[in-house]
Amino acid sequence: MEPKLIIHGGAGQLEGSIFTFLDYHNALLEIVGDAYAKLKVTNAREAVLHGIRLMEENPIFNAGKGARLQKDGQVRMSAAIMNSKDNSFSGVINIQNVEHPIDVANILSGQKYTVLGGHEATEFSRLNQFPYFNPITEHRLKEYKNALIGESGTVGVVALDQEGNICAGTSTGGVGYEVPGRIGDSATVAGTYATKFAGVSCTGKGEHIINQAVAARVVTRVEDGMPLVDAVDKLFEEANQFHYRFGLISLDKNGNMVVGNTKNVDVLYAKHDASGAKTFYKN
Ligand code: GLY
């Protein structure tokens, strides 16, 4: 099986960001290359973790360092991972002060309780030796002072490894300036889902993604025999009827990689196969 990997750095509105589309292109291009190299020598889960960690470390993305602040000035982050190999979804919701929410989500995989939220998720991370980390950056503080609500910057990776395993992961700081405790889509099966047939990671307005049960819906349609591209097209036909705003990356067991979005939303993505890397960016 030829390994394949697709990543996203959120939906395409920059919302007054100090970063340009070229900045996102450059960051995604480097990260997709690193994650693909990892995929070739490890497996889908390790590649997803590696790719998401790199984006969580890069402050231009709304995940980990550089995550957005909620209305009370606190950063609460969410992340999830699902791997077809063990059919296991795990996640953290509104965790605080960790550098890599995706790693906390990952160690919950296969445990008795696989999704933790709030203060207890943070406590769980400390018990598991995740040190305190302050994710707040200057530019997010400035956005917060301007009460900026956004839709962009969530990160995600979907990978297919040589053994045919598919893994999907997503990490986010939410939409910014939201009511404290709001829960988006990323650490639900609407935002992140994978089986041996297909995997999906979403970005955009979490409430809309949850209403459509997006990731699980696309994967289920593929499992029931619909080609991935048709499953994604159908999903967005439905979503556009509601004037929703979100996008997704997806990949199936045959190595097809499909990006989809509602009207007026572009997904900042990059993909890699044996022929090389491509990003969303057009000169
Ligand atoms: N899609 C990220 C969020 O709505 O929280």
- What is the three-state SS of 17-66? CCCCHHHHHHHHHHHHHHHHHHHHHCCHHHHHHHHHHHHHHCCCCCCCCC
In which band, very low, low, confident or very high, does the pLDDT at 254 lie, cut at 50, 70 and 90? very high
Q: What dihedral do alpha carbons 27, 34, 202, 153 form, nearest 10°? A: -20
Q: How many angstroms does the Cα of residue 46 sit away from the middle of ligand 1?
A: 23
Q: 172 CB less than 6 Å from ligand 1?
A: yes
Q: Rounded to the nearest 5 degrees, what angle is found at the Cα of 110, between the Cα atoms of 159 and 201?
A: 30
Residue 73 neighbours by CB under 8 Å, 6+ apart: 144
Region for residue 64 given its phi and psi (left: phi exceeds 0; alpha: psi -120 to 50; beta: otherwise): left
Active site residue 42: no
Nearest protein Cα to ligand 1, atom 4: 206
Q: How many angstroms does the Cα of residue 59 sit away from the middle of ligand 1?
A: 17
Q: What is the pLDDT of residue 143?
A: 85
Tell me 280's DSSP state: S
Q: 206 CB less than 6 Å from ligand 1?
A: yes
| pTM greater than 0.75 (yes/no) | yes
Indicate if the pLDDT at residue 205 is higher than 60: yes
In which band, very low, low, confident or very high, does the pLDDT at 72 lie, cut at 50, 70 and 90? very high
Strands across the sheet with 198-204, in order? 192-194, 198-204, 246-252, 257-261
Q: 175 CB less than 6 Å from ligand 1?
A: yes
Q: How many angstroms does the Cα of residue 252 sit away from the middle of ligand 1?
A: 23
Work out the average pLDDT over 154-162.
Answer: 97
pLDDT digit string, tens, across residues 172-199: 999 888 999 999 999 999 999 999 999 9
In which band, very low, low, confident or very high, does the pLDDT at 282 lie, cut at 50, 70 and 90? confident
pLDDT digit string, tens, across residues 113-124: 999 999 999 999
Work out the average pLDDT over 84-88.
Answer: 96
Structurally, how many domains does the chain consist of? 1
Q: Which helix (H) or strand (E) holds 142?
A: helix 138-145
Lowest mean pLDDT of 28-42, 60-74, 149-163, 201-215, name the range.
149-163
Range of the domain at 225: 4-282
Per the prediction, the chain carries an average pLDDT of: 95
Pocket probe for ligand 1: among 186, 188, 214, 267, the residue whose CB has the most ligand atoms within 8 Å is 186
Active-site residue identified among 42, 114, 154, 262: 154
Indicate if the pLDDT at residue 152 is higher than 70: no
User: What CATH number does the domain containing 168 carry?
Assistant: 3.60.20.30
Pocket probe for ligand 1: among 151, 214, 265, the residue whose CB has the most ligand atoms within 8 Å is 151
User: From the alpha carbon of 203, which atom of ligand 1 is closest?
Assistant: 1
